[in-house]
Chains A and B, each alone.
Chain A
Amino acid sequence: MTLELRDIIWRQGGCDILHDITLPFDRGNVTAIIGPNGAGKSSLLRLASGLSTPTGGRVMLDGRSIATLPARKLARHRAMLTQESEAAGQFLVRQMVMMGAGMAAHRLDIVQQELLADALVRRVGLEEFANRQMMTLSGGERQRAHLARVLMQLEVAMTDGTLPGFLLLDEPISAQDPAHQALVLQLARQHARRGGGVAIVLHDLNWAAACADWLVVVHRGTIHAQGPPETVLTQDLACDIFGLQHGCVHRHEKTARPFILPHDNIDEETDRCTSP
């Protein structure tokens, strides 16, 4: 039971954005996608979601090409939080979250929809703002409200016994403070523990190493490395791909997961191993 990219090539404006990408996202796992700016991480996620159509190769959902699935059916099995968190104008937070039910809204009556939306609003820590207009929220709050809408989409699909779907998150903590960064990633892990698949594009290598079961490093449009964080996030990778200093990768005492502690003096030219 997977969402899988097979031999993906994607060209835009004459440029090869992605090439030779074969990558399965398994149910029950959190896959974090990391890489320098412009590596093609978000493009990869957009292809996996069906928002973009690959130039070559196929995206398969449980053995079927997603190109053959109507939008309505696809929406029952995958939901995506994009980087554009629209202000959604005068919609109240609760209204916006309920919109996540989409074309499956008829499965629940209005009271059930409200209860589910309220529960999700609480889970993303916005219970105080449920009746506030979206445009009055900060960027981070807005991002979490959209996360609740995306979760609503998969929750409503599950009401008829559909397996938990794939949750695709494109930089979901980019606007969050540290506490809410942890909250968002906890929600993603909870979804995976319930049997859903999760793919997250992250810039923060420490959070990626902490939350992922599988780490995928994208560099110059292709997969540079993948595997458990312990084996992937090495000193060489930190130097070669991310241009960090030698000695910046450490091991967490309790979890044994790698973490990065940069020790650059930003006022001085640093002896970096390679520029990314």
Chain B
Amino acid sequence: MTGAMSRAAWLFALLGVLLILTMLLALDTGATTVRLRDLWHPAGAGGEMTRLVLRDIRGPRIVMACLTGAALAVAGTIMQGLFRNPLADPGLAGVSSAAALATTCIIVLGGSGPWVSWLGRWAIPCAGIAGSFTGMGLLYLFATRGGVTSMTAMLLAGVAFGAFSGALTGVLIFRANDAALRDLTFWTMGSFSGATWRGIGLLVPFLLVAGGLAVYLAAPLNAMLLNEHNAHLMGYPVERIKSLSMLAVACATGPAVSLVGAIGFVGVVVPHLVRLVVGPDHRIVLPASAMLGAILLTGADTMARTLASPAEVPVGIVTALLGTPAFVWLLARSHRTGIT
């Protein structure tokens, strides 16, 4: 354990340094050339421009990418621990598909409703958040009988629910006009270009709840890896762990996906990469995944906005392009070594 702990301490130090470097690099990189030191010496027009770019454009974008990356990675870690399945990701819990359906409803159908105009530009993220929690809630209720939640039923229902909401989303897309289609394409591929400090303000309370739950769940999720019966025998309240895990996944994924769109692979790949280095202990894997998720998504977003500068590639495309080979490599490796 001592060896594992010192290994974990090194990993946290390394990830901390990498996170700071990635954020600084992301601040410094972009279509407009700015100098970081102008932030502290804002005299002249160059300083004004720097403040605008760094504080109002890149700043919120980088913070949003960090938070989203951390949230998706934590949600993926919890899902994989809970389902004892290394391929589980937040999408299986019905959160992403329900958020997509709700968002598509607003984009295609709901543009003129009174509450939509009252919510204004927050209508889409609010619908996404409401949709994701509703989707998760329905799945949870479906899989729970007599106070016992069947994770197998939840997994299968999640797949069916995903397919059904996908079909409904498809019907809506079929009815969409050109403007709505553009919005939808943008949303389904994910982007941080609309990130604002207000959006971050909307996201943070949910992430605080998810983070608090993740701290509570770390040790119980270790016990759940030994199967539900053993976790119960060891004194863990198994049903409460399941419901709190689902709540944590909904809080971490729903709002993030609703604000920046669907971003794949972070939730699946990041926990795997972390486990390769520090083993399966959730007390280490959860915080380390959060940090690596933040680093990878900030890096991916920086690539997304610089690869085709001044145009932008949707960040979901970058994560998929980088994530797919990484995922295949992980699968091949686990097949070779027997580690899954």
Q: Are A82 and B3 in contact (CB under 8 A)?
A: no
Which residue, B226, B229, B236, B338, has most C-beta atoms of chain A within 10 A?
B226
Bound: A94/B230 CA distance, A: 17
The verdict on B2 contacting chain A, using a C-beta distance below 8 Å, is: yes
B259 within 8 A of A: no
Q: Are B229 and A72 in contact (CB under 8 A)?
A: no
B205 on interface, CB distance cutoff 8 Å? no
Number of interface residues of B (CB under 8 A): 27
Are B229 and A51 in contact, CB atoms less than 8 angstroms apart? Answer: yes
Contact of B225 among A50, A89, A102 (CB under 8 A): A89
The reply on B82 being an interface residue by CB < 8 A is: no
Q: Mark A64-103, 1 if CB is under 8 A from B, else 0.
A: 0000001111111001101010101111101110111011
**B 276-309 to A, binary, CB cutoff 8 A, 1 in contact else 0:** 0001110000000000000000000000000000
Known: A71-B237, A89-B225. A114 touches B1 (CB 8 A): yes
Tell yes or no: A190 within 8 A of B by CB.
no
User: Are A135 and B234 in contact, CB atoms less than 8 angstroms apart?
Assistant: no
Are B227 and A84 closer than 8 Å at their CB atoms? yes
Q: Among B3, B236, B338, which residue has its beta carbon within 8 angstroms of that of A102?
A: B236
Query: A111 → chain B, closest Cβ, in Å?
Result: 9
Tell me the residues in window 1-54 of chain B with beta carbons closer than 8 Å to chain A beta carbons: 1-5
Which residues in chain A, 191-247, are within 8 Å of chain B measured between CB atoms? Answer: none
CB-based contact A95/B4 at 8 Å: yes
Q: Are A102 and B223 in contact (CB under 8 A)?
A: yes
Q: How many A residues are at the interface, by size bracket?
A: 35 or more
Q: With A and B bound together, what is the CA distance between A78 and B211 in angstroms?
A: 32
| Inter-subunit contact B229/A82 (CB<8 Å) | yes
Once bound together, how far apart are the Cα atoms of A80 and B230, in whole Å?
8
State A5–B235 Cα separation when bound (angstroms): 20
A78 to B229, CA, bound (A): 14
Question: Are A82 and B233 interface neighbours, CB within 8 A?
Answer: yes
How close is A89's CB to chain B, nearest CB, in angstroms?
6
- Report whether A98 and B280 are in contact in the complex, using a CB–CB cutoff of 8 Å: no
Across the interface, do B235 and A75 meet the contact criterion of CB distance under 8 Å? yes
Residue B156 CB within 8 A of the other chain: no
Is B234 within 8 A of A99, CB to CB?
A: yes
- A112 to chain B: which residues have CB within 8 Å? none
Q: Is the CB of B227 within 8 A of A86?
A: yes
Flag whether B275 is at the interface (Cβ < 8 A): yes
Determine the chain B residues whose CB is within 8 A of the CB of A70 once the complex forms. 237
| A90–B280 CB distance below 8 A | yes
CB distance from B40 to the nearest CB of A (A): 43
Q: How far, in angstroms, from A88 to B338 measured CA to CA in the complex?
A: 13
Q: Does B222 contact A (CB under 8 A)?
A: yes
How far does the alpha carbon of A104 sit from the alpha carbon of B235 in the complex, in Å?
A: 9
| B238 interface residue per 8 A CB criterion | yes
Q: In the complex, which residues 96-126 of chain A have their Cβ closer than 8 Å to any Cβ of chain B?
A: 96, 98-100, 102-105, 110, 114, 117
Interface SS majority for chain A? helix
> CA separation between A72 and B240, bound complex, in Å?
12
Check if A88 sits within 8 Å of B1, measured CB to CB. Answer: no
B222/A99 in contact, CB under 8 A: yes
- Cβ-closest chain B residue relative to A136: B338
Q: Are B4 and A92 in contact (CB under 8 A)?
A: yes
Nearest A-chain residue to B228, judged by Cβ: A51
A95-B279, A98-B1, A135-B338 as given contacts; A88 in contact with B235, CB under 8 Å: no
- Docked pose: A204 CA to B278 CA in angstroms: 41
Q: Are B238 and A71 closer than 8 Å at their CB atoms?
A: yes
**Which residue of chain A lies nearest to B238 when distances are taken between CB atoms in the complex?**
A71
Query: With the chains together, A131 CA to B237 CA distance in Å?
Result: 29
Given contacts A90-B339, A114-B1, A114-B2, contact A72 B235 (CB under 8 A): yes
Q: A49 to B233, Cβ gap below 8 A?
A: yes
Is the C-beta of B232 less than 8 angstroms from some C-beta in chain A?
A: yes
Shortest Cβ distance from residue B260 to the other chain A in the assembled complex, whole angstroms: 32
In the bound complex, CA of A184 to CA of B280 (Å): 28
Query: 23 A-B contacts, Cβ less than 8 Å apart?
Result: A50-B232, A51-B229, A71-B235, A71-B236, A71-B238, A72-B235, A72-B236, A79-B234, A86-B230, A88-B226, A89-B339, A90-B279, A90-B339, A91-B222, A91-B279, A91-B280, A94-B1, A98-B1, A102-B234, A102-B235, A110-B5, A114-B2, A131-B3
- Interface of A toward B, CB cutoff 8 Å: 49-51, 70-76, 79-80, 82, 84, 86, 88-92, 94-96, 98-100, 102-105, 110, 114, 117, 131, 135, 153
Sample of 20 further A-B pairs with CB below 8 A, known A70-B237, A90-B280, A100-B234? A51-B229, A51-B232, A71-B236, A72-B235, A76-B235, A82-B230, A82-B233, A88-B226, A89-B280, A89-B339, A91-B279, A94-B1, A99-B222, A99-B223, A102-B235, A103-B219, A105-B219, A110-B1, A114-B2, A153-B235
